[in-house]
């Protein structure tokens, strides 16, 4: 069987799109395996329902068998991979009926995370958020940079909460939402405008405006949920 790792351009390099933000040479093999597999699934380069075959993927991605298996188990816990006895591992299907349920959780937690980030952000993190705000304002119209910037904004805000439990929980739900976004990206109107909304969110967090950060984050989830409902 040929590898399922394919980008729209035909480039099979694992450093495009989502994985481009990782400095994988500084990570453990287990973490690199997890991030690489996760991002291939989120970007649909490992498509829903496709087998996650150990031998071709470890060779193609330069990942050892033990860290690969650890990554598969971790992604199973995050509902991105399903493991079936005697059949193997498969990327989970995208269940569109779950979208409203995912949005319901994110609507509660995204605002809380933005509020906590605005309360707890450090001076160093303010500089990082300001750099992200500049990226948002100069956002091009192509899918890869749009989704890369969106991912970086969300994950950075989660990290600025300084609450690992909240960061991990939101990260998992964000991953599930991203797959749905990728699936319908070409059919969604005003995608760039959706990501540009992050500029005001980042500004509110930088300024420590907790109420405004909360309000903007919840509205952002609502806009996304509404846009997806319009096309499914």
- The residue from 57, 91, 125 where one domain ends is 91
CA distance 150 to 220: 11
Least confident of 25-29, 98-102, 136-140, 222-226: 25-29
Other Cβ atoms less than 10 A from the Cβ of 87: the count is 9
Whether 43 and 146 map to the same domain: the answer is: no
Say if 204 falls within a structural domain: yes
Q: Which two three-digit tokens encode residue 39?
A: 């991002």
CA distance 42 to 73: 16
Say if 8 falls within a structural domain: no
Q: Are 145 and 100 in contact (CB under 8 A)?
A: no
Model confidence pLDDT, tens digit, residues 31-47:
999 999 999 999 999 99
Model confidence pLDDT, tens digit, residues 91-134:
999 988 889 999 999 999 999 999 999 999 999 999 999 999 99
- The residue from 41, 61, 91 where one domain ends is 91
Which range marks the domain in which residue 158 is found?
A: 96-231
Q: How far is CA 155 from the centre of its chain?
A: 8
Whether 160 and 70 map to the same domain: the answer is: no
Model confidence pLDDT, tens digit, residues 53-97:
999 999 988 889 999 999 999 999 999 999 999 899 999 999 888
- Say what the pTM is: 0.84
């Amino acid at each position: 069987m040929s590898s399922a790792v394919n980008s729209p351009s035909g480039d099979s390099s694992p450093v495009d799109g989502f994985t481009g933000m990782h400095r994988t040479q500084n990570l453990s093999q287990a973490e690199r395996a997890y991030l690489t597999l996760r991002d291939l699934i989120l970007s649909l380069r490992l498509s829903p329902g496709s087998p996650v075959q150990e031998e071709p993927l470890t060779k193609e991605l330069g990942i050892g068998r033990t860290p690969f298996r650890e990554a598969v188990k971790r992604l199973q816990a995050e509902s991105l991979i399903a493991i079936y006895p005697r059949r193997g591992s498969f990327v989970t299907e995208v269940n569109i009926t779950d979208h409203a349920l995912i949005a319901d959780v994110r609507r509660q937690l995204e605002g809380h995370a933005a509020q906590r980030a605005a309360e707890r952000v450090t001076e160093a993190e303010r500089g990082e958020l300001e750099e992200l705000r500049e990226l948002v304002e100069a956002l091009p119209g192509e899918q890869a940079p749009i989704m890369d910037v969106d991912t970086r904004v969300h994950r950075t805000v989660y990290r600025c909460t300084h609450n690992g439990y909240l960061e991990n929980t939101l990260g998992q739900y964000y991953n599930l939402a991203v797959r749905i976004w990728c699936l319908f990206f070409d059919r969604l109107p005003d995608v760039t405008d959706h990501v540009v909304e992050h500029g005001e969110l980042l500004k509110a967090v930088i300024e420590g405006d907790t109420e405004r950060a909360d309000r903007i984050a919840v509205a952002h989830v609502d806009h996304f949920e509404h846009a997806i409902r319009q096309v499914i």
